[in-house]
Amino acid sequence: MRLSIGENIKKLRRERDVTQEQLAEIFNVSCQTISRWETDSSYPDIEMLPVIANFFNITVDKLMGMDEKTEAEIVEKYLSDFQIAISNGLVYECVRIAREGVKEFPNNYELLNKLMYALFITCSDDADIPEWKENMQKYDSEIVSLGERIIKYCPDQSIRLEATSRLAFQHCEMGRKDIGRKIYETLPSEEYTKENQMWWALNDDEKLPFIRNNLNRSARNLSYEMWHLASGKYLSDEDSIKVFEKLIELDSLIYDGKHSIENWFDEGALVDMAEIYARLGNTEKAIEILKTTAKWAIDFDNRAESGFCESLLLGRREWERTNYETADSRPSRIKMRDLWLSAKGFDCIRETKEFREIIDSLN
C-alpha cells in the first residue's frame, strides 16, 4: 500500500483552512517539519500519527492513505453484521456494531446513519425492550446530534433524506412536534421523487423492472395506509371491517391470490381485523382470521434463508431472511401470542377452546 501521509495532511489542512505555521504550532513542531511531511521528504513519528488523525477527526489508517477499496470492504462488513443483527431484533448489538464502525471511520455517513437508526430503535415501545422509555431520554440528544450532522454534511442525498425523516420523527416522539413538522416540511414532495420522474431517462430494458419496483412500492404504501385507516379508530367498526376486506382484496390482486412472506405486516393487520370482529360479536369470523394469521406467523418464523415470490404485476421478487428488520428479538409467533393476542378485545373469546388452540399452536 502506497503511503500518502503528506498528501493527506496537506489536503486536510487546506480543507480546515489552516496554515503550515498554525499546524506547526498545534503539533509543537517546526514549520519546516510540516513542509517536509507535506512533500513526503519525511514522515511524522509513529507516536504523532494518532495525534494528527485525532485533530483531523479521521482514523490513522485513513491518514496513512488506506485505499478506498479496503475501506469499502471493511465498512461493508460492518453493514452486513448490522443487517444480520437487526433481522434478529438484536438492537443493542446493532448499537455496538455501529459504534465500533463509527470509531474506526468517524466520517463515514453510512455508519453514522446506522448508529442513529440503532439508537432510535432502542426506543421502540412495541418490542421486547423494557427500558424503552429510559432510552428515549438517554439517547435523545445523541440521535438529534447525529441527524443534524448527517443533514448538514453528508453528500449522499438518500442518506440525508432518511436521516431527515428520522430526526423529524424523533422530535415528534419527544413532544417537540413543532420542530418535527418544520423538518418534515423540508422533505421533497412525492410528485418530484425519483420514482415518479425517472421514467423519461430509462432505456427500454430498464422500464419493466422500474415499473414493477414502483408497483411493489406503491402497493406496500397503500397497504400501510389502509391498515392505518382501518385500525386507527377513525371509522366505525363496520366501516373498518370493510377497509380490511379491501386490504385483503388488494393483496390477493397484487400477489395473484397467494400470501407473500414479504408482506410480514399482514399479520398485525389481520389481528386488528379479528379484534374488531370479536368486538362486534362475530367470534366465529375472529377465530377464523386468527387461525390464518397464526399459520402465517409460524410460516414466517420458519422461512428459508432466501427465496422468491412471483406474480403477474410484480414479476419475480427475491428476498433474503436478513431483509427483515425489527426491534423485537422474539419470533413473530411469540410476539403475536404475547403482545397482539393479549389485547382486551379478545377477552370475550380468550377462554374458548378454539382460542386456546391458537395459543397452543403459537407455542
Q: Does the pLDDT value for residue 323 go beyond 60?
A: yes
Least confident of 107-111, 224-228, 256-260, 283-287: 256-260
The answer to whether the beta carbons of residues 13 and 20 sit under 8 Å apart is: yes
pLDDT class of 265 with cuts at 50, 70, 90: low
Q: For residue 309, list its beta bridge partners.
A: 317
Percent of the chain that is helix, strand, coil (3-state, to 5)? 70, 5, 25
Residue type, 302: N
Band (115; pLDDT cuts 50, 70, 90)? very high
pLDDT at 256: 94
Question: What is the chain's mean pLDDT, rounded?
Answer: 92
Q: Report pLDDT digits (tens) over 28-43.
A: 999 999 999 998 888 8
Output the nine-digit C-alpha cell for 189: 414532495
Angle at 266 between CA 87 and CA 339, to 5 degrees: 70
H/E run at residue 278? helix 266-279
pLDDT digits (tens, 9 = 90+) for 54-76: 898 887 877 877 666 778 899 99
Query: What distances in angstroms separate CA 253 from CA 63, 242, 256, 314, one per listed residue?
Result: 55, 16, 5, 11
Q: What is the pTM of this model?
A: 0.80
Closest of 303, 226, 224, 197 to residue 259, by C-alpha: 303
**pLDDT at residue 147 tops 60:** yes
d(CA 43, CA 33): 9
Q: Domains of the chain, with CATH numbers?
A: 5-64 (1.10.260.40), 68-187 (1.25.40), 195-362 (no CATH)
pLDDT digits (tens, 9 = 90+) for 187-202: 999 888 888 899 999 9
- Rounded CA-CA distance 97/77 in Å is 10
Average pLDDT over residues 76-98: 97
What is the C-alpha to C-alpha distance for residues 301 and 330, in angstroms, rounded to an integer?
10
**pLDDT score at 254:** 93
Q: Return d(Cα 30, Cα 37) in angstroms, integer.
A: 11
Task: Give the per-residue SS3 of 275-339.
Answer: HHHHHCCCHHHHHHHHHHHHHHHHHHHCCCCEEEEEECCCEEEEEEHHHCCCCCCCCHHHHHHHC
- Give per-residue pLDDT as tens, 198-221: 999 999 999 999 999 999 999 999
Q: Is the CB of residue 327 less than 8 Å from the CB of residue 124? A: yes
> CA gyration radius for the chain?
26
- Give pLDDT tens digits for 148-167: 999 998 989 999 999 999 99
